[in-house]
Structure 1
Amino acid sequence: MRSRDHYFHQIMDELLACHQPSGGNNRRAYWNLVTQVRRLSDLLSPGPSRPIRDPMELRAYIRTLKTVAEKRLHWANTPESWIPPQAKGGPLSHRVTLRSLLGHLFERYPVPDFMAYSWLSTNAVRWHEALYLHLASGKGVRQFPDRPAIPLPPKAARFFMQAPDDFTPTEAMRWSQLRSYGVRKKIATEIARYTTAGSEVGNESFWETVFRFFVRENVTNEDEAFAIYDFIEEQKFRPGIEVWGRGADERPLQPDFTMKGRTLKSLRRNMTNWREQILAKRPELAMKTFQWDSSPFRSMVHQEGNVKWLMFELLSDRALILEGAAMDHCVATYIDSCAKHRCSIWSLRVHEQGIPKRMATIEVMPNEKSIVHAKAKCNNQIDDNSHRILKYWAEREGLKLEI
């Protein structure tokens, strides 16, 4: 029976041959590089530490060696003189080994680790490698001509060298920009890593006003900073139909949104009441409607003395939008789920002395026959009387009350 190592060598040889570069000089440099890497490390061998068994991962390393060979004219040292780092207390990471090789071959001046690791990325683009070589030759990131159009003040170059190891080059540039403006480190990391700011470039003069808002208003919580960024992006740039739902079109809801005159307090208020405010400006959003079939559960009118409780299903996009605007929550985002019968939304209201009042919005999962959410205004908990009435209705309809 053939050993596992035999198959490893077979896959390795096939991948090495498949990825060899064209051109005699590049090909010779490639095979010499492969020979030296095998001689000096176990990166391309099933040696005693931790061989690469995943063909996709192995392909990424071999593809990187091919690119390294094609950049041989930028080498500062030869592969033969490379001394791999020594493992301490355990097997050496393949990434660390490759990082050492790149540093030996190219770096006349220090380059941040994330730039070296970007060579392995399947999403790497040509300017990543060009920027790495640019930095390795001693030039600054601000002088690199092909970088994305992210504004980088002089102070940003220092922060760029300190960016986290798991960042992409674009994320690192965004992070450096934010840090140079004075944005807190945790917030800069949140914005660069988890929002479109770390991957998309555009409308830079506007976004600069947002980032400087974080500093001016002393935003200290990274979750709130993320929520602010996401809110502004969806209001100003995303298609309205994605944000509002059916009834809107491709135009953003607030294309003229600016940071002028805003404070953190006023923006928080805007983020809470935005649906109601937009309905006031664009009432046509509540007028376009479509309906869906009701669920198998029955509505209810429950009389207690002079107090009348009503429980009924919301069966149109307009009904959900108006409920969300009145209750200051996001139930309008459930339109598609309701239309596809994945869930069912109900409104609990009370009439006391002839005055109607919305008390709760309820989410029912029809297939599971369960009530999974019940929220009062602003997503607050429902009061005891509302809970009592909801429990009564659930028992009457054979629903599990999971709140």
Structure 2
Amino acid sequence: MAKSMIQLRQDAERQRIEAYQVTLRRVTAVPRPAPNFERAIEEACRGFARRAIRDGALWRPKLKTRDPARLRLAAARFLYARYPVSAALEAIWLDSSGLNADEVALRKAWYVAAARSDSLYKAGANAWLSRKEVHCFVNVVGDFTFEEAFWLAIARSCTDDPGLATRLARTKIARTPRGEIAFWREVARFFCGHPTSREEIDDLCDYLGAMHRRDRAYSLKGRTLVSLRRQMVEWHRDIAAIERIEALRRRAAGKGQQAQGPAWDGSRLEDWDWEPSAKEAKAHGERFFVRQLRTAEDLVAESRAMHHCVSLYAAKCIAGNASIWVLRRKALGKIERLLTIELDPQNRAVQVRGFGNRLATAEERKIVERWAKARGVVLRA
């Protein structure tokens, strides 16, 4: 008698279950590899074997972990540690991803010095930290990264408030390059004297970092939290203005086309330099120069510094209907902004303005006339 469809499906299901049970009986557990203690000792010794206080061959760990990183840390503790070391220093044995070889070597050397109870200050920390800061760094308690512990030590030297120091250590200051420590130490000292929220410190750090990249001599001396807030708002406005100008430039380049570089074509006139004679110069090495502004950033910076609306002329510059030039004076290592000049496509001066849209002085006018004669620019009477 033929089986019904239901019986056939039931038989097929039983066969699948039996076949699956057979495969389960054949499966054997994969043996876990034994902890590689020899490799852990070898990695912990690399580069610091002569500084070990114990013989690695005598290490008899009773560890259940098979994690290579934890084994490496345990080996480092056995080889070098006379006393417990902070987690911030031990972290280098657990994870060194994202660090270059020099930074890895430095952090391991600092760990070895601290673990052996040697002077971390003499071991190289004196290049960045004072003795007081080194003491705080070595004895930091809590869940801090290496960078956070580093800046916590600096902050503690500037304030007696541990909460404020901890807040500073967890801001973007801790992610700044150590090569710029002089500037960021000043920033940390400023916020110790002008406490604010962690979020606002991060926002202000973005602004301060941009100012420092633009001018390496930028300083917080004489500034207040109120003035920094105002300047940060202006900076954000400048960024928005630059983005609007860049959008104009992209549209002018045409849909589907990428604008070439950050600058537009501008005028074909060449830049100009003039150095007065020793008799005419008011200062040693005095020099005047005229440069064309061909980027959104330069145009907005000129508008901000000179307190006028030249940045609104970006569309005309991009379209080739105008070009913007600036007259600068350099003397005694400083550059002074004097005038902003607008030329039309026929190289005729449409506007010549100074700070706050003032007119050019007689002395500035003479310099502009000298430039105009050299470059074939037509000045208004």
| TM-score normalised by the chain length of structure 1 | 0.45
| TM-score normalised by the chain length of structure 2 | 0.47
Instruction: Decide which structure has the larger Cα Rg and report it.
Output: 2
